[in-house]
Structure 1
Amino acid sequence: MPVKTALITGITGQDGSYLAELLLAKGYTVHGIVRHASSLIANTSRLDAVYQDPHDAERRLFLHKGDVTDAGLLNNLVRDIEPDEVYNLAAQSHVRVSFDLPDYTANVTALGAIRLLEAVRAARIDAKVYQASTSEMFGTAAPPQSETTGFHPRSPYGVAKLFAHWATVNYRESYDMFAVSGIAFNHESPRRGETFVTRKITRAVARIAAGLEKKVYLGNLDAVRDWGYAPEYAEAMWLTLQHGAPDDYVIATGRPATVREFAEAAFAHAGLDWRDHIEHDERYERPAEVPALVGDPAKIEREIGWKARVHWDELARVMVDADRAALSG
């Protein structure tokens, strides 16, 4: 069987790194687009486990400088690589930050997706495309949310993702492209960025347990979310592109918890009482809150055969253990 080639945008992020590991383990050749910061040094730390010697003739992981704001780069890269599968995971993905940087968020998260879709279409290749959609598109829609639930995004990030989602549907219907939107609900791991609430909590637990801090400051503790484990969600992304026909799929556990409940579980795992260490800070409140996001994964379980195995309480323990190990080691 010929070796498959995949292109991943956002490869250095949480999801991209887990997806790269998964595809490499399955024998793929993997190309990733890496956005360079002002330091001119790309942060590839999440890829350390699979990054190979660039002089190794057998290497199957290739990183390319650039980002999804550059249509010319995307066109050239897709044409030259001719990937079998394309995964668009690139985004400005922090919801609170999107209120401060709405234009940048739209350029990367919304227009980046359509630039990539157009690059695949223009290259006239038979590539399957995965678009990383998000539960934030649902906003104030009543839970549980499924593929047929109406959208009502409540942030520039959610609005930008909705544009990308509908662009994916449009290219699928207009050009007969194998284009899938995976509507992923919150998914976390020890590789989650430190500004996201789950990792902020588990990192604080590790530091408080070690005597390095006393408090952590959070926003809305009553927000309800459906938290899953990122490596499992990377597997779901891949599985949707192996299915016989493209469609949209909610990727979720279906088991909700509040931020307060997640924090309570995380602190308890370290023998601490969360009430002694959490303080409210209104600076972390969103201008427009999303009260409850809870996914209905029935369709992906039925049609694809994927089902979440790790749920929010176990996830909290996994992340606390990883942060404590990292701090001590």
Structure 2
Amino acid sequence: MSKGIISTDFQFKGQTGKYTGKVREVYEFGDKLAMVATDRISAFDVVLPKPIPYKGQVLNQLAAKFLEATKNIVPNWVESTPHPNVTFGKRCEPFKVEMVIRGYLTGHAWREYRDGKRILCGVAMPDGMRENERFPQPIITPTTKADQGHDEDISREEILKQGIVTEEDYLQLEEYTRKLFARGTEIATAQGLILVDTKYEFGKFNGEIYLIDEVHTPDSSRYFYSDPYDALLNANQPQKQLSKEFVRQWLISEGFQGKEGQQIPEMPEERLEMISNRYIELYENISGEKFVKDEYSDKLAHIKEAITQIVE
């Protein structure tokens, strides 16, 4: 099996900095940046040791597609995608919150609900709901954006009280979040999918709010298949879904949830290949397009050359 990209270590003329995130490596050039989507995978805010081949290409190309499809709702940071793993654009000053929006009771929200909680990030959840059931209206459950470690749930009230975001900007972020979720829902419906929940990140450039990072990818979003949804819900069966949740569930089955003292389980090669294939399946189902693999021969050199042509 092809080896995935675990990291990059480039130096470019005019480079002013480099930031390494959980999955992406960001090269800064003054008020511009080049973002490289590696094949690293994270779960429970922990980066797993082995890469997933083609995952970075899947994320980068899906993000480019959906950023293009939503730019009439909110401007975004992208200026070009010079390589299947690279996006180039504006270096915005990010807000220190992630805007999570949930249309259905699943994942983290379900785990909190199952444990008896009925308030999530200051938002009330109705009694008597079942796992994977649709909320009467989508709920916004923001998190803090941690540079390292775990993001933490936070309420709108606490965000404003702490001055993390001004009230004017936060209300705009909420409006953008709801409109983006509605657009993502429309696109998913056309593909026979349900956009279950997702997160958006925003920043400012020259005083204007921009959508940054990625949007509606399987790393930031969860999808169910529409067709079996009602039957599975009524039978109390797990939903057939397109998301990274299958990685989290495997880790949970191996006794790992990112908690202190827990050992990251060793992921066998067949599991890595299965996850790679699932990401490609995600791409094709979400985009409605055939995935064309960018093979790994000299891939790092091609990535470096693509960035060089833009910045030098």
Of structures 1 and 2, the one scoring higher in RCO (CA 8 A, sep 6+) is: 2
Give the helix-richer structure, 1 or 2: 1
Same fold? TM cut 0.5: no
Give the strand-richer structure, 1 or 2: 2
Q: Taking structure 2 as the reference length, what is the TM-score of the superposition?
A: 0.24
